[in-house]
Structure 1
Amino acid sequence: MIRIEREGPRLTITLNRPEKANALTFEMLAQLAQAVTNNADARVLVLTGAGKVFSAGMDLAEAQSGLPRNPVWSDASEAIAEFPGLSIAALNGTLAGGAFALALPCDLRVAVPNANFFYPVMKLGFRPQPHDPARLAALVGPARAKLILMAGEKISAEEALSFGLIDRIATADEMEAVLERLTEGVCAASDAHLRAIKAMIDG
């Protein structure tokens, strides 16, 4: 339910369950964590979705099996956060709920113009994934994090850009060209140079 493609220095992982709006299952999260870890020598990680939605979040059919609190979420999220190259969430559509756990740890986020962003944990009675509130607040500030997580506001791509939640807006036709532009320098650099600069930024 995920597609893994490695082309030279670039690793692309696609959430590939479009008939279910790429709702995340235990299997998908475990496969994603393993794929990122096994390709730590890649210089670029692109995470995207098949179809018109990046991900609707957790598959609610698996909620009763304990998925909301399963450590597989942290495994996937931390694998992305610890990726030593440049990670980009190419948001081909709406980002919802637990799928924030995959997009927030990426270094950059690029979204299509019609993408929406919402995290309905207050309404559904779930808690956010463990690292999400702090990562969200680091990007958009505490008040806007509360606007999304507590007030349950749905925000547009334009609002997400102004908040700092995403870094670029690109149409589906423009997305690949934008990704190539953003990763050109990283792909041309040495591994040591890439990792040194990322370490200087991340501390």
Structure 2
Amino acid sequence: MTGVIVNYKNNYGVITLNDPSIHNALKKEDINVIREALFKWRNQELDAIIITGTGKSFCSGLFLEEFDYKVWDKNPITLICEDIENFKCPVICALNGGAYGGAVEIALSCDFRVVNRKLTLMVPAGRLGIHYESSGLRRALNTLGPSLTRRLFLLGEVIPFEDILKTNFIDFCVGEGETVKNKSLKLVESLSKNSPLAVSGMKKTIIEILNNSLNAEAAAIRVRDCFNSDDHKDALLAIKGKREPKPKDF
């Protein structure tokens, strides 16, 4: 039985990590369910995807007892992160609690992170004799900065909320009376008002810039395509008509 629940709504998908007895650690079947959902949704008309957890923790990374690194072509966490980065619409990580191990990298690969004040981060890589892949360290450096990345990966510290708050990790923090899931749904609503073509194109360009892999020619084509799109034409008419634009799906 998988510890992951997958739901598809009208214009967004939700992936819920649902095995709080092991802090939502990911088993082999869980990895497969997540990747299959992301693959299936590639052709769906989605404004966003939400990834969240149940219980006190968001996720504690891989359930290591089930995995044998000797037979990996690539770390399963890395594969999920690449799927998230390459997905056409924004992915929102709704961290209902702490993130540990590979879960930190999953959160870092998402476009938006919504948290509460219970958030802590911890990566016990050194204690486990694990060398993180360069892509994971790059994501941490881009978002957390060199100092916190060293504390997280080299020292294996539990990073408290107050220190995380000083970095670029947190996009939105909910207060009393609001859940990370509800805040994430508000972000989905905001995204639904924008052109999917423009949002998807800018997401791709942002990631390429962060990864130092910008294809300037392809980015220029995306810019031109948006200027020539029906969404842009409708937006101009909406301004003149004093109405809200009506963006189309891909």
TM-score of the pair, normalised by structure 1: 0.89
Matches within 5 A, 1:1-203: 1-40=3-42, 41=44, 42-63=46-67, 65-66=68-69, 69=72, 71=74, 72-171=76-175, 173-174=177-178, 175-203=180-208
Q: Within 1, Cα distance between the matches of 2:203 and 2:109? A: 14
CA pair 4-172 structure 1, distance change in 2 beyond 3 A: farther
| SS of alignment partner, residue 7 of structure 2 | strand
Larger Rg: 2
RMSD: 2.1
Number of equivalences:
202
Q: Percent of aligned pairs with the same residue? A: 27
Q: Within 2, Cα distance between the matches of 1:161 and 1:56? A: 20
The question of whether the paired residues in 2 share the 8 Å contact of 1:101 and 1:131 is answered with no
Cα deviation per residue 1:146-175 (whole Å; 9 max; x = unaligned)?
111002121122321212222222258412
Uncovered stretches (5+) of structure 2, i.e. residues with no partner: 209-250
Q: Within 2, Cα distance between the matches of 1:188 and 1:155? A: 36
Q: Within 2, Cα distance between the matches of 1:196 and 1:165? A: 22
Q: Residue type of the partner of 2:69?
A: G
The question of whether the paired residues in 2 share the 8 Å contact of 1:100 and 1:132 is answered with no
TM-score of the pair, normalised by structure 2: 0.74
Higher strand share: 1
The structure, 1 or 2, with the larger RCO (C-alpha pairs under 8 Å, 6+ apart) is 1
Deviation of 1:177 after TM superposition, in Å, equals: 3.5
Q: Residue type of the partner of 2:119?
A: A
| SS of alignment partner, residue 87 of structure 2 | coil
Deviation of 1:58 after TM superposition, in Å, equals: 1.8
